[in-house]
Chains A and B, each alone.
Chain A
Amino acid sequence: MSVVPVRTEALSKVFYDESRGEVRAVDSVDITCSPGEIFGLLGANGAGKTTTLRMLSTVLRPTSGQAWLMGHEVRDAPERVRENLGFYSASTALYPKITPRETLRFFARVNRYPRRRIEARVDELIERFSLESYADTRVEKLSGGMKQKVSIARTVAHDPPVLIFDEPTVALDVLNAIELREIIARLRSEGKAILFSTHVMSEAEQLCDRIGIIHHGAILATGTLDQLREATGRHYLEEVFVHYAGMRGKIGT
């Protein structure tokens, strides 16, 4: 019997802000993601993408609702959840004082990858992400593109079945962004369940198997690009997005 890698049910997060009072950052979100699938969360800045993904990665506690990763509930078994998860975002940085090889070894170890196989795994990752020439140079001395590759290798160091990419291309130049998308597509073909958030329409169009449009914390529509086109009668994703977000009468933030 196979479990759904990612599933949420009425997942919500409410913040209290001293000056604004109650803020519903995520409002009753239901999503699923299957093996070999890229599910895209598409929304403007501040729509609730990052908060949703942080709840899935157990960094934030949901106010209400539930979420499961590989059958583990985020509140009940946060450590099991994280063992099965690779999380990548523009803000997840690397330790500057250690080398890529040490980085991979460290993250494989803390994520409970079988100890005896760690060295082999690290070698494999270095080969796969072509890190050979700088595997033993300290991270602080690497270029942005090199760091990005090490970062992705770090994310999959323990070979997790679920991967979360939270606006991964936000700080990248065009070439690096393209390379990153290729790597993500490759990971999909390996059978990973991938959650991907972005506010860039073209990125979602190219990469995602299914798209959830999120606005003011709520999912307005979910489906493949074709399904969304059919439902709205618009061709471009941008128009589809405006169609849904505009229906709510609140465009942008």
Chain B
Amino acid sequence: MRTLVALELRTLLRDPRTVLMSVVLPVVLIPALLLIGSQIEDRRAERAEQRTFQLALVGEESQFAAELVESLRDVRAVEDGPGFRLVEIGNPREALDAGSIDLYLEAFSTEEWRELVEAEGIEGDAISPDLDGIRVLRISYHSTRTASREGAERLSESLLDRHRTRRDSILVQAGFAVPSYQVAVVEGVDVASERQVQGARLGRYLTLILLGLMVLGGSVVATDTLAGEKERGTLATLLTSAVSRTEIVAGKLLAVMGVALAIALVQLVNLWVFLGTGLIDPLQGFAVDVSPGLVAALLLLYLPVVALVAGVLLVTSAHANSYKEAQLYLMPVLLVLVTPAMAPLMPGLSLQSAAVLIPIANLSLGVRDLLAGNLQLAWLAAAWLVTAGAAAWVTTRSVQALHDEGLVTGDTSREDSLEGPELFPKRILRWILVLWAIKLLLELNLRFEDIRMGILLGVGLVFLAFPLLMIRRFRLDPVEALALRFPRPGVWAGVALGAPAGLVAAGTVLHLMDFVVPVPTEALESFGQALVPDEVPVWHLVLLFAIVPGITEELTFRGVLLHGLRRRFGGVALALVVGMIFGLFHYELFRIPVTTFLGVILTAVALLTGSILPAIAWHTLHNGLAAYLATSGIEFGGEEWLWGAGSFLILALALWIIWVCRTPYPGVGEGSEG
């Protein structure tokens, strides 16, 4: 095993690109970033110091404004250096647009202001009548220009400051008539020490940055070590030698870990050298007191993270047949690994919660707390164990991956020669994953005023285009791929009975779920109601909530997806897998179990009848009923157990009818070992 690790490291060190990418680059990156950051900050501060903002004064009361700005010079100019230069200008708005001035200040009397508010429809505080006679100052600036924005900020701050001082002195001079006990000065005190605040700030990002660098550096070695070896043929050589597969994986894992650990170590030492010793002017807010002891503690905390990262990278590499393929997987893997490291950025998330059970997230929270000077030893230990456990599990997965014969032999030649319909079963899951990602992006980014448009595009178009694309891309026979066959007539009775029962049963599932994960109340009260806009013609409802999803979702899931997976699993597993994938396309957490439940039933119906048509009818009927119940506000009593039990009985009866009239889906499970 030592021989194996030595070989890995020797190979690594002899490849200048690998060394550059995985060691040198990360080593210089952080100090470079810190250096650039602190320089930018210095320059910005310098520029702000020297900056003279071009200011124009406008309005009937501009004399007042001029005096005010003049007085500012006494107050602010001394502290902050040169401030504002007054510019005479005809049309200030045009000058501001053109950039020849940075901002202008208008002064209005109360009457003028009120007229302006009336005329321009400005929203904002109306001036109360008892303040008649005061003046209103308006600062106009252009937020796309830094100078303009900063000038406006500075002017507004200075004016308020000046105003406060003046008001207080006026009040005192006039003999302040309010009893002193009715007045209070409000002061805020932050009891967190400067060190804690800045430690917490650094702690929020530290894991994320380190993890990103570890993944980038470690992946260079990991992809080369299994996928690259497979491609070069050296893995075949190694597998016919007397080393065991466990030893091979262990050797490679240690090598990847070594690199990831080296990166973590180098960065932490970097942190100590540059921040701890003050070699680089610390960025504002990152002036953390980093001691060698702290670096050692952080390193210990990051050990399981390093192991987990190395394990995940190795599993990824083991599943790829070539270097290129491994690189393809890298982006999603990076996202999966980095996401939990963002936990410290989530407001209100603390280690002392269920978060302690999430690998990486728990330790990144722990690191944040530690840097903020808040040491929770027991929780930290739990977090460490959880992440270490995950790392151990992932490592055993990579050993298993080497036992998987298809992966070992790296035999892609047969797959390459496959094409069209024969290739389709091997590609369908990849395509479904792509569809899932596209749908997620649409879901997050497309917001329609009218939900109807959203359904038409996000459901109708997407789920119609996908099966058509698959049929075209893989030259599938549409009748076969979409299971366009007529079932026996008796099946329709089963569908008519089953769809309403299934709807009530789904409501019961939602209530059952409540015991496991609390479901949002609004979801419980009537799930689906929130989706339905008011005052929509009934035929729109029927079309958009029932018919469109009923047809298009079935074409995708019980059509091409089921067709593609049919040989891979037996009947029961197939229903579960397709149902689950269907469920995962409903991105809200509380909807997934219910839609999975529906998806399993619909897949079962398609498998029993060998046809997509009953599933389409069932799905349409289900959605139509749900929408109708939601809009008409009828309670169908999902809360009562009698309803629940009854619905399951009728559902079973319906499925039995369909089973009696069955004409099974062809080819199910033929390619599986079971």
A contact set with B: CB distance below 8 Å: 16-21, 54, 57-61, 78-79, 82-83, 85, 87, 89, 91-98, 102, 106-107, 109-112, 138, 154, 158
Contact = CB atoms under 8 A, between A and B. Distances in A.
A79 B418 CA distance: 35
- Ordered nearest first, which 9 A-B pairs have the shortest CB separation? A93-B233, A87-B240, A19-B422, A92-B237, A18-B671, A83-B242, A97-B14, A97-B11, A18-B425
B241 A95 contact: no
B234 interface: yes
Interface string B224-255: 00000000111011111111100000000000
B73 interface: no
B4 interface: yes
Contacts of B173: none
Interface in B374-430: 405, 408-409, 414, 418, 421-423, 425-426
Nearest to B426: A18
Contact of A110 (B10, B242, B409, B426): B242
B240 A93 contact: no
Interface in B1-52: 3-4, 7, 10-11, 14-15
Nearest to A95: B234
Contacts of A154: 237
Contacts of B425: 18-19
B670 interface: yes
A54 B409 contact: yes
Contact of A112 (B10, B242, B409): B242
Contacts of B423: 19
B242 A82 contact: yes
Nearest to B414: A17
A33 to B, nearest CB: 17
Nearest to B11: A97
B672 interface: yes
Contacts of A110: 3-4, 238, 241-243
B236 A89 contact: yes
B10 A97 contact: yes
A136 B89 CA distance: 81
Contacts of A106: 3, 7
A57 B405 contact: no
B591 interface: no
19 contacts: A18-B425, A18-B671, A19-B425, A54-B409, A58-B240, A59-B236, A60-B409, A78-B244, A82-B241, A92-B237, A93-B236, A97-B14, A97-B15, A98-B11, A102-B10, A106-B7, A110-B4, A112-B242, A154-B237
B2 to A, nearest CB: 9
B578 to A, nearest CB: 16
A17 B237 contact: no
Contacts of B14: 97-98, 138
A19 B240 contact: no
A240 B519 CA distance: 75
Given A18-B567, A59-B408, A91 B236 contact: yes
B352 to A, nearest CB: 48
B534 interface: no
B673 interface: yes
A54 B237 CA distance: 12
A97 B670 CA distance: 46
B237 A94 contact: yes
A93 B237 contact: yes
B586 interface: no
Given A89-B236, A94-B234, 15 more contacts: A18-B425, A18-B426, A19-B425, A57-B240, A59-B405, A79-B242, A83-B242, A87-B237, A93-B237, A97-B14, A106-B3, A106-B7, A109-B3, A110-B4, A111-B241
Contacts of A111: 241-242
A16 B234 contact: no
A109 B243 CA distance: 10
Interface residues of B, number: 35
Grouping DSSP codes into helix (H, G, I), strand (E, B) and loop, the B interface class, with mixed when no group exceeds half, is: helix
Interface centre among A18, A57, A59 (most CB of B within 10 A): A18
Contacts of A93: 232-234, 236-237
B670 A21 contact: yes
Nearest to A60: B405
A11 to B, nearest CB: 15
A16 B671 contact: yes
B10 A92 contact: no
Interface in B183-237: 232-234, 236-237
Contacts of B162: none
Nearest to B231: A93
Nearest to A61: B405
B674 to A, nearest CB: 10
B76 interface: no
Contacts of B149: none
A74 B511 CA distance: 55
Nearest to B406: A15
Nearest to A93: B233
Interface string B261-284: 000000000000000000000000
B439 interface: no
Interface centre among A20, A60, A78, A92 (most CB of B within 10 A): A92
A58 B244 CA distance: 11
A59 B241 contact: no
B7 A92 contact: no
Interface centre among B236, B244, B421, B425 (most CB of A within 10 A): B236
Contact of A17 (B236, B421, B671): B671
Given A82-B242, A85-B240, A98-B7, A19 B233 contact: no
A102 B8 CA distance: 13
Given A92-B236, A110-B3, A98 B671 contact: no
A85 B243 CA distance: 12
A18 B672 CA distance: 7
Given A19-B425, A60-B405, A82 B671 contact: no
Contacts of B408: 59-60
Contacts of A92: 233-234, 236-237, 240
A16 B426 CA distance: 13
Nearest to B667: A21
Contacts of A20: 422
B405 A18 contact: no
B408 to A, nearest CB: 6
Contacts of A98: 7, 10-11, 14
Nearest to B422: A19
B135 interface: no
A94 B3 CA distance: 16
Interface centre among A19, A111, A138 (most CB of B within 10 A): A19
B568 interface: yes
Nearest to A82: B242
A30 to B, nearest CB: 23
Nearest to B238: A110
B314 to A, nearest CB: 18
Contacts of B568: 18
Contacts of B414: 17
A187 B14 CA distance: 34
A120 B467 CA distance: 66
Contacts of B672: 16
Nearest to A160: B242
Nearest to A112: B242
B22 to A, nearest CB: 15
A87 B235 CA distance: 12
Contacts of B405: 59-61
A60 to B, nearest CB: 6
